[in-house]
Structure 1
């Protein structure tokens, strides 16, 4: 056994918990008593005094336990009730711990005992109470107790302590305890490290995982690293969007003869799907099969979802069929994901086939499934079918929601029926349906598409008046339309309002303003906006360069015309100016190709 006395002295140098701990435990013990206001009063102190000398420790522990459970303010009279008894006896505390069978009442007694003169915490009592707190998963009291009293827990107890604080979300305390154990020369079991890794993942603290792993390697447990450790490290790298690093760990672990569990593979597959690295996705599936880690239902979910998000619905459909061929039964999420993918591509025939197949398999469509297909019909302009399906959804018992209303409003706006969408929007509050930012943005975009800038502006003001936070989309379409209509100054005011609200504009919004400035003859200001974009490493659209070049050429032509009308301008000067204009044009062409 490693001597951890120096470790605990180091920990206690920062102790400041005792007072708060006593208050906390007193409250807990009162709650445990259920508010018992002394329904069972103890016998008179004189009688107890006469009996004390004849009773052994277990009998007194039973009596004291009864007092603690039944008398709210027992601390005030316990010493007078048992004036000659040694409550510091560790055997008594061990027996009391059994009698009470309540760790919080036991801790309350211990804190009362620590307030007595000449109190010296006995290591046996401290360790027993500490272990009891850990068994009860009382991580906060256990932490406070550990820092408050001079005792040296067993290494096994500290490993249990690490697990306890991890389960309670105190993962930083776990990392600190690992550091203390390392300084004391004790090497925790790899299972304890893995438990801490898992907890850090659960609570989103990948930063602590790397600190833990570094400490783990310094402790010299490389040979003990197992497939669980590798799996957690892979998941941590994926969570940090470092998929390539995660893949490197996988390859190394496979070379070392360690094959992580499916969770690690699934996380990697999800990461490569986000990066659109589908070659790597298929390679991982093949590796899983070769290494006897057969892809499970969650593997296929990740692949299908990733492919559909990347507009690879046909490939996702192939995986879907392969899944069925391997004996797996697709769930409703998979069906809905594929239906949505086909709807995005406008392939309603395929989406409808899957819809009816899903129903035949016994899956009743939910609100999200209905809205997915409604969106598909709206996208291709079949609003009549969309409305029929909407009514069928309501007849099936689903109520109108913000999601369903937004879906129909979008469909109407996409096909020039914005006024109908607006009427539908105005009915939402009457049905107690909340209008969110998406509702407003959809209508703003719809009105802008039809050139109804005034209505769009009013909707933006209404959105703000209702206390909703506008998004970038709330402004983008309005700024674009204002620039197209020549209201560049108003567009710039909206830009400033968006900037003041801390919103990051879309790159294309700057392009719209530059084009609008050029149309209004403010070419120099347009150039200033372009330079600002380039300094911010933002890539303008090619059309923006063309617009500026055309505007500069036009200015050059007008200048040449003015000079030509001036009798003092010679033919040589005209030729020189024309060459300069052409040279500027070529320089702009080179600049555009480089950016």
Structure 2
């Protein structure tokens, strides 16, 4: 009797026989392992052989997933001869692919190579490496590259770069660079695209120094850099404010006979403006008119206009805009939005409106800037008209648009209209932050209408809002109740803060304790203070230490842990 198992017969491991046995049940009248004859029409059919192969692969996958690796006893070697299908490297690839489990696939791969002496095909390596990378098993994937080399295969750029990029993405920059430098050992011929890809991820990871070192020591020595290579360096130096280095990059471009393109210049100008060197960016912009192969475009002009707007120099921004029109460069939506926002922040709403009407089609950003400008200028009715116009033109206001409008209404005590906009947001399922509700609640509290403030507070906590009150919300309400002499409600809100894990700050504590003392509610004030001490929230007591000293003299001294903590706190403050 012949026993086949992993140890006794590595050529036919037990789980493969198990797969064959499952398939054989459908192909033989009796078990082929007991000497029965196959059906003639099936034994000679090539199609059946192909079908059997796919079925065996599926069965092996199922057995591996179930971790069932049984052994079987055969009655004679003739049974082995009846197995017309043998396991091939192609079947191994199909099994690994069908497993959808990188770690299990690797185990199967290792076994078939060690026990069955398989020389796996390159496609198996490529598929398994990709699977391991997707599963985050970067080290295993890197080890497979070594196996691929040992089996005499050349490694493709695609496969090598997949491993390099995966290592870099997980923060293993040094390992990624080390593997990339070993490309010649793998007989992998790297193209400029590969070098640019490494340069890009170094820059994206913020490793500007390593990017420059890689550029000089690797890229320039092995390939000829192109405009894209230099543009990435310019972008990298601009992002860290090293504009001087950008000029060096431009000189390097000349030495490599590489001409700056639109991206180079736009990136350079934007970088100058970002580090507040807008005048230099503007000079470079004007110099471009003398170049034969380059003309400033809308991105160049917009970068300079944005820079001047951030500096608050709207006169220069307007001048650049006019030059842009004279040079027949058409402003885009971003250009107009930058200028309109600048004029609105400066308070020049008339100039902003003039620019607004020059546009053919504004967007929600344009309208929001104008609405904000009108509200700040005290022209809230004009802002409301623009909000309606925005809707009439088929554009939906966003949460920020509503917040700007609600803020303007609250400043003019038009609280009912502000509340109506909150309701409109709810109807349109626009979920803003708690700060939008806080503006309306604060407005009602300031006019003494705490009942309406409470109502909005409850609306805010509704399940369909998804907007929980924050520390600011509670502080506004506590202060509002105190101003109305509703101390019980204020204390209740104070304790509710702890139930919803919202820790009161110094502003909250000072408002409540001061109000309680003024109302001669000393016991309630003591309760609040001891609650804070018990929870270890002493920072909230810092702002009212003088009041606590006063209360300490008024209360009867008790030899308790609370009094001890309070005395320690006062001693530290003295």
CA contact (8 A) 1:227 1:259 kept: no
Which of 397, 412, 429 is 1:365 aligned to? 397
Cα deviation code 1:88-133 (max 9, x no counterpart) = 99xx424764x7794647986774363259547666x253212234
Which of 507, 510, 513 is 1:479 aligned to? 510
CA contact (8 A) 2:23 2:55 kept: no
Query: Hey, what's the Cα distance between the residues in 2 that align with 1:226 and 1:418?
Result: 67
CA contact (8 A) 1:100 1:106 kept: no
Please list, as runs of the form range in 1=range in 2, the aligned pairs for 1:519-530 lying within 5 A after superposition: none
CA contact (8 A) 1:297 1:328 kept: no
Q: Does 1:115 pair with 2:117?
A: no
Query: Is the alpha carbon distance of 1:145 and 1:248 closer, same or farther for their aligned partners in structure 2, counting shifts above 3 Å?
Result: same
Please list, as runs of the form range in 1=range in 2, the aligned pairs for 1:45-444 lying within 5 A after superposition: 45=32, 63-70=52-59, 72-73=62-63, 92-94=88-90, 97=93, 102=97, 104=99, 111-112=107-108, 114-115=110-111, 119=115, 125=120, 127-133=122-128, 139-140=134-135, 143=138, 144-147=140-143, 150-152=147-149, 157=156, 159-163=158-162, 166=165, 170-172=169-171, 176-183=175-182, 188-195=190-197, 206-207=205-206, 211=210, 214-221=213-220, 224=224, 228=228, 243-245=240-242, 247-248=243-244, 253=249, 256=253, 257=260, 259-260=262-263, 277=276, 279=278, 283=282, 291-292=296-297, 294=299, 295=302, 299-300=334-335, 303=338, 312=345, 314=347, 325=358, 329-340=361-372, 342-343=374-375, 346-366=378-398, 369-390=401-422, 397-398=428-429, 403=434, 405-426=437-458, 428-429=460-461, 433=465, 435-437=468-470, 438-444=472-478
Partner of 2:502: 469
Partner of 1:33: none
**TM-fit CA distance, 1:442:** 3.4
CA contact (8 A) 1:231 1:264 kept: yes
Query: Is the alpha carbon distance of 1:349 and 1:441 closer, same or farther for their aligned partners in structure 2, counting shifts above 3 Å?
Result: same
**TM-fit CA distance, 1:281:** 11
CA contact (8 A) 1:348 1:376 kept: yes
What runs of 5+ residues in structure 2 fail to find an aligned partner? 1-21, 254-259, 289-293, 303-330, 554-568
Cα deviation code 1:189-247 (max 9, x no counterpart) = 4533544566678xxx7356655554454324388555555666677778xxx6523x4
Query: Is the alpha carbon distance of 1:164 and 1:299 closer, same or farther for their aligned partners in structure 2, counting shifts above 3 Å?
Result: farther
Query: Hey, what's the Cα distance between the residues in 1 that align with 2:73 and 2:353?
Result: 75
**TM-fit CA distance, 1:312:** 2.2
The higher relative CO (CA closer than 8 Å, separation ≥ 6) is in: 1
Query: Hey, what's the Cα distance between the residues in 1 that align with 2:72 and 2:124?
Result: 20
Cα deviation code 1:34-80 (max 9, x no counterpart) = xxx97994656466899999999x99676433311256338758998
TM-score normalised by structure 2 residue count: 0.57
Query: Hey, what's the Cα distance between the residues in 2 that align with 1:347 and 1:278?
Result: 35
Aligned residues: 463
**TM-fit CA distance, 1:377:** 0.7
Query: Is the alpha carbon distance of 1:293 and 1:188 closer, same or farther for their aligned partners in structure 2, counting shifts above 3 Å?
Result: farther
Query: Is the alpha carbon distance of 1:157 and 1:45 closer, same or farther for their aligned partners in structure 2, counting shifts above 3 Å?
Result: farther
Query: Is the alpha carbon distance of 1:464 and 1:113 closer, same or farther for their aligned partners in structure 2, counting shifts above 3 Å?
Result: closer
Please list, as runs of the form range in 1=range in 2, the aligned pairs for 1:451-470 lying within 5 A after superposition: 455-466=489-500, 468-470=501-503
Query: Hey, what's the Cα distance between the residues in 2 that align with 1:262 and 1:328?
Result: 29
**TM-fit CA distance, 1:462:** 0.9
**TM-fit CA distance, 1:412:** 1.6
Query: Is the alpha carbon distance of 1:461 and 1:118 closer, same or farther for their aligned partners in structure 2, counting shifts above 3 Å?
Result: closer
**TM-fit CA distance, 1:410:** 3.2
CA contact (8 A) 2:230 2:249 kept: yes
CA RMSD in angstroms comes to: 6.2
